[in-house]
Chains A and B, each alone.
Chain A
Amino acid sequence: MSGEADGSVVVSEDGGRRRRVHGMLKLYYGMNEEGKAEEQPESLDPCDINGPHFDPEVFLNKLRRECSLAELMDQETCMVKQIRSLDSDMQTLVYENYNKFISATDTIRKMKNDFKKMEDEMDCLSANMAAITEFSARISGTLQDQHAQITKLSGVHTLLRKLQFLFELPARLNKCLELQAYAQAVRSHRRARCVLQQYSHLPSFKGIQDDCHAIMDKLAQELRQKFRDGGSSAKDLSECVELLLQLDEPAEELCDKFLSHARSRLVSDLQGLEAEIRPYPSASTVKDASAHRLPSTAAAGSPTDASPKTSATPSPSSNTDILEFIDRGCNEFVSSLCLVITSYQELFINHAQTGELASKNIPQMANGKLHAFVDDLAAQYFSLVERRIQEEKGVADNSLLVRALDRFHRRLQAVAKLLPGSAVPNQGTEIVIRAATERVKQYLSALQSFYMDSLTDVRQALATPRLSVAGASVAGGGALLGGPTSRDAPSSLPELLSSLSASILNQIKSVLASVHLFTAKDITFSNKPYFKGEFCSQGVRESLVVSFIKFVCQSSRQFCESAGDKGGSTPPALLLLLSRLCLDYETSTISYILTLTDEQFLVQHHSPVTPVTTLCAEAREAAQKLLNHYVKVQGLIISQMLRKSVETRDWVNTIEPRNVRAVMKRVVEDTTSIDVQVGLLYEEGVRKAHSSDSSKRTFSVYSSSRQQARYAASYTPSAPMDTNLLSNIHKLFSERIDIFSSVEFNKVSVMTGIIKISLKTFLECVRLRTFGRYGLQQIQVDCHYLQMYLWRFVSDENLVHFLLDEIVGSSAHRCLDPAPMEQSVIEVICERG
Chain B
Amino acid sequence: MEDDAPVIYGLEFQARALTAQTAETDAIRFLVGTQSLKFDNQIHIIDFDDENNIINKNVLLHQAGEIWHIGASPADKAVLTTCYNKTSDSRVVSCAAIWRMPSDWETGSHESPDDSAHNPQTLELLCHLDDSAHSNAACVLWEPMGDGKRVISLADNHALLWDLQESSTQATVSSTATLEGKGQLKFTSGKWSPHHNCSQLATANDTAIRGWDLRTMSQIYCIENAHGQLVRDLDFNPNRQYYLSSCGDDCKVKFWDVRNVQEPVKTLEEHSHWVWSVRYNHSHDQLVLTASSDSRLILSNMVSISSEPFGHLVDDEELSEGEDNHQEDKGKEPLKDSVVSTYEEHEDSVYAAEWSSADPWLFASLSYDGRLVINRVPRALKYRILL
The residues of A with any CB-CB pair to B shorter than 8 Å are: 564-567, 636, 652-653, 717, 720-721, 724, 727-728, 731-732, 736, 738-741, 760, 764, 767, 770, 772, 813-816
Contacts and interface: CB of A to CB of B under 8 A. Distances in A.
B272 interface: yes
Interface stretch (B83-91, B324-332, B376-384): B83-91
A652 B87 CA distance: 10
Given A724-B370, A760-B293, 9 more contacts: A564-B228, A717-B38, A720-B13, A724-B10, A767-B349, A772-B90, A813-B37, A816-B37, A816-B87
Contact of B229 (A636, A724, A741): A636
B90 A724 contact: no
Contacts of A636: 229
B90 A764 contact: no
Given A566-B225, A738-B294, A815 B37 contact: yes
A724 B39 contact: no
B339 to A, nearest CB: 15
Which range contains the number of B residues in contact with the other chain? 20 to 34
B344 interface: yes
B355 interface: no
Of B10, B37, B207, B295, which is in contact with the most chain A CB atoms at under 10 Å from its CB? B37
A728 B85 contact: no
A739 B13 contact: no
Given A564-B250, A767-B368, A772-B90, A760 B39 contact: no
A471 B344 CA distance: 45
Contacts of B349: 764, 767
B274 interface: yes
A139 B251 CA distance: 145
Q: Is the interface of B mostly helix, strand, loop or mixed?
A: loop
B348 interface: yes
A652 B90 contact: yes
Contacts of B147: none
A636 B207 CA distance: 14
A814 B35 CA distance: 9
A740 B272 contact: yes
A636 B90 CA distance: 32
Interface in B57-99: 85, 87, 90-92
A724 B273 CA distance: 22
Q: Which 4 A-B pairs have the closest CB atoms?
A: A738-B272, A739-B273, A731-B347, A720-B12
Q: Chain A contact residues: over half helix, strand or loop, or mixed?
A: loop
18 contacts: A564-B228, A564-B250, A565-B228, A566-B225, A652-B87, A653-B90, A653-B91, A720-B39, A724-B12, A731-B347, A732-B347, A736-B344, A739-B273, A739-B294, A741-B272, A760-B273, A760-B293, A816-B90
Contacts of A721: 12
Given A736-B295, A764-B293, A813 B273 contact: no
Contacts of A653: 90-91
A236 B137 CA distance: 106
A168 B347 CA distance: 130
Nearest to B10: A724
Contacts of B229: 636
A738 B273 CA distance: 8
A736 B293 CA distance: 12
B135 interface: no
Interface in B256-286: 272-274
B281 to A, nearest CB: 27
Interface string B223-261: 001001100000000000000000000110000000000
A727 B90 contact: no
A611 to B, nearest CB: 29
Nearest to B38: A717
Contacts of B369: 724, 727-728
B14 interface: yes
A731 B272 CA distance: 18
A567 B10 CA distance: 39
A740 B39 CA distance: 35
Interface string B1-30: 000000000101110000000000000000
B276 to A, nearest CB: 9
Contacts, number: 63
B225 A565 contact: yes
Contacts of A741: 272
Contacts of A566: 207, 225, 228
A753 to B, nearest CB: 11
Contacts of B273: 739-740, 760
A739 B272 contact: yes
B92 A652 contact: yes
A795 B295 CA distance: 22
A758 to B, nearest CB: 12
A602 B181 CA distance: 65
B114 to A, nearest CB: 16
B271 to A, nearest CB: 8
Given A717-B38, A720-B13, A731-B348, A652 B91 contact: yes
Contacts of B344: 736
Nearest to B68: A768
Nearest to B348: A731
Contacts of B39: 717, 720
B295 to A, nearest CB: 7
A652 B92 CA distance: 8
A739 B273 CA distance: 6
A354 to B, nearest CB: 78
A770 B37 contact: yes
Nearest to B351: A767
A216 B72 CA distance: 116
A717 B344 CA distance: 30
Nearest to A757: B273
A564 B229 CA distance: 10
Contacts of A732: 347
Contacts of B87: 652, 770, 816
Contacts of B250: 564
B348 A813 contact: no
Nearest to B271: A740
Contacts of B251: 740
Contacts of A816: 37, 87, 90
A816 B344 CA distance: 32
A610 B269 CA distance: 30
A772 B85 CA distance: 14
Contacts of B207: 565-566
B12 A770 contact: no
A652 B369 CA distance: 23
Contacts of B293: 760, 764
Contacts of B272: 738-741
Contacts of A760: 273, 293
A564 B370 CA distance: 34
A816 B37 CA distance: 6
Nearest to B85: A770
A702 B254 CA distance: 40
Contacts of A720: 12-13, 39
A329 B243 CA distance: 64
A616 to B, nearest CB: 25
A728 B347 contact: yes
A717 B369 CA distance: 17
A760 B225 CA distance: 23
A474 B170 CA distance: 60
Nearest to A736: B295
Nearest to B227: A565
Contacts of B295: 736
Contacts of B370: 724
Nearest to A727: B369
B37 A814 contact: yes
Interface in B346-378: 347-349, 368-370
Contacts of A724: 10, 12, 369-370
B119 to A, nearest CB: 17
Nearest to B276: A764
Interface string B173-213: 00000000000000000000000000000000001000000
